[in-house]
Structure 1
Amino acid sequence: MTAKTAKAKRAFWLKQLHTWHWVSSAVCLIGMLLFAITGITLNHAGAVESAPVISERTATLPAPLLATLNATKGDKAAVPADVRKWVDDEISVNLGGKPGEWSEDEVYIGLPRPGGDAWLSIDRESGEILYELTDRGWISYFNDLHKGRNAGEAWSWFIDIFSVATLAFCLTGLVLLQLHARNRPMTWPTVGLGLIVPALIAILFIHM
């Protein structure tokens, strides 16, 4: 391989790496900011935690729908579709086909969510509905998104795609460091520092 060919090949790969590096950084930029900021708020959760706000809604299921509900079989079955629609229309609670916990006295549906919690119960004798929502605020909401807690399948897919983009960003950055390291003597000592500092903290200050 001639010097000219080697130089052209290096220029080609540099261009490719720079392209993948900036594309992956653009894809994961907002996600990295979100995860970096919520990393700080999670690390100081006690200092930024807000008081939860609890609200309740009540209603009474009509007798025909109560009969439909009580005809449902199965310990973990979802409540019937017409009951779900009535609950959504009447008290604006979307049960979304979530399975219920059925007992002789009531049906209990847990409705956990990022930044809070919720549940709904239906008395199988009287038809009385009680819905309780606990809201822990926006910081808790974003902290739960960071952890993927009760955020649903779509958010789980986002985290996976974001992680792949972040890996591409880091790996292309690593190769670019290697290509430019000859003219930047502090490249590898700086990279090594990024490994040594957390390793030393873990060894010296985090006890099993």
Structure 2
Amino acid sequence: MRELRRWHWIASALCLAMLLMFAATGLTLNHAGTFEPEPRVTQTRAIAPAEVQKVLAAGPAQGEAPLPPAARAWLDKQFKVRTGDAAATWSAEAVELVQQRPGGQTTTVIDRPGGQTLVEIEARGLVAAANDLHTGRYSPKAWNLLIDVFAVACLVFAGTGLGLLLTNARARPVTWPLILGGVAIPLGVWLIAAHAL
């Protein structure tokens, strides 16, 4: 019993901040039209220098491949766009790179014949970023690992909580109806919703 309480206390402490965040973003996800503002889009243009145009001209005619180092360095210096080794889409006319991130995206288009470059940054705000983090979309690997750790902590929290409820069930007769309700209500709503699709 004491060991069960100790693990329940540890799991609840580990879960607290993430549980609050996931509960809040559950609401904002369910009502995204209310909470998320209109995307803010900014566009910046420039002409790629001759050396960048040269390496782009020597790139693949079509398909997907990372940008050459010279192009990456110029984009970082000119636009503060860090492309890393992300794959861009190459065609005879242009090279396009779309980089998704929580709450927005950056689209870079470089015209191959003339070097005209457009960088478009779309920002959907803090709520949209939190919503994307909730689902794990466009998130770094460290965040996805944190979600896995949080999920395990929640399982421990729920399991030890159930164990504590069961140990006190005789003294509290309402325990079983509450447990059954906690299982039956979400399951019933889920089955109704799934059947309605």
Q: Into which bin does the TM-score normalised by the smaller protein fall?
A: over 0.9
Alpha-carbon distance, 1:111 to partner: 0.8
* Partner residue in 1 for 2:121: 133
**1:80 aligned to which of 38, 44, 68:** 68
Alpha-carbon distance, 1:69 to partner: 2.3
Q: Kindly report structure 1 stretches of 4+ aligned residues shifted beyond 3 Å.
A: 202-206
Amino acid corresponding to residue 33 of structure 2 in structure 1: G
Taking a change above 3 Å as real, the CA distance of residues 153 and 196 of structure 1, as seen in their structure-2 partners, is same
Taking a change above 3 Å as real, the CA distance of residues 205 and 94 of structure 1, as seen in their structure-2 partners, is closer
**1:65 aligned to which of 38, 52, 58:** 52
Alpha-carbon distance, 1:138 to partner: 1.1
* Partner residue in 2 for 1:154: 142
> Rg larger in 1 or in 2?
1
CA contact (8 A) 1:59 1:91 kept: no
Matches within 5 A, 1:1-208: 14-73=1-60, 75-204=63-192, 207-208=196-197
Equivalent-residue separation in structure 1 for 2:190 and 2:161 (angstroms): 25
Q: Classify the secondary structure of the residue corresponding to 1:125.
A: coil
CA contact (8 A) 1:54 1:132 kept: yes
Aligned-residue Cα RMSD (Å) equals 1.6
Alpha-carbon distance, 1:140 to partner: 1.0
Equivalent-residue separation in structure 1 for 2:9 and 2:76 (angstroms): 45
Q: Classify the secondary structure of the residue corresponding to 2:100.
A: coil
Higher strand share: 2
Equivalent-residue separation in structure 2 for 1:67 and 1:37 (angstroms): 50
Equivalent-residue separation in structure 2 for 1:21 and 1:100 (angstroms): 48
What percentage of aligned pairs have identical amino acids? 39
Q: TM-score, structure 2 length as denominator?
A: 0.92
Equivalent-residue separation in structure 2 for 1:111 and 1:177 (angstroms): 47
Q: Classify the secondary structure of the residue corresponding to 2:169.
A: helix
Q: String of CA shifts for 1:61-88, please: whole Å, max 9, x gaps.
A: 1111221222233721100122211211
Q: Classify the secondary structure of the residue corresponding to 2:121.
A: strand
Alpha-carbon distance, 1:154 to partner: 1.7
Alpha-carbon distance, 1:175 to partner: 1.2
Taking a change above 3 Å as real, the CA distance of residues 87 and 44 of structure 1, as seen in their structure-2 partners, is same
Equivalent-residue separation in structure 1 for 2:108 and 2:193 (angstroms): 45
Q: Classify the secondary structure of the residue corresponding to 2:59.
A: coil
Q: Classify the secondary structure of the residue corresponding to 1:150.
A: coil
Equivalent-residue separation in structure 2 for 1:58 and 1:192 (angstroms): 61
Equivalent-residue separation in structure 1 for 2:171 and 2:98 (angstroms): 59
Q: TM-score, structure 1 length as denominator?
A: 0.87
Taking a change above 3 Å as real, the CA distance of residues 147 and 205 of structure 1, as seen in their structure-2 partners, is closer
Equivalent-residue separation in structure 2 for 1:51 and 1:82 (angstroms): 35
Taking a change above 3 Å as real, the CA distance of residues 123 and 194 of structure 1, as seen in their structure-2 partners, is same
Q: Classify the secondary structure of the residue corresponding to 2:63.
A: coil
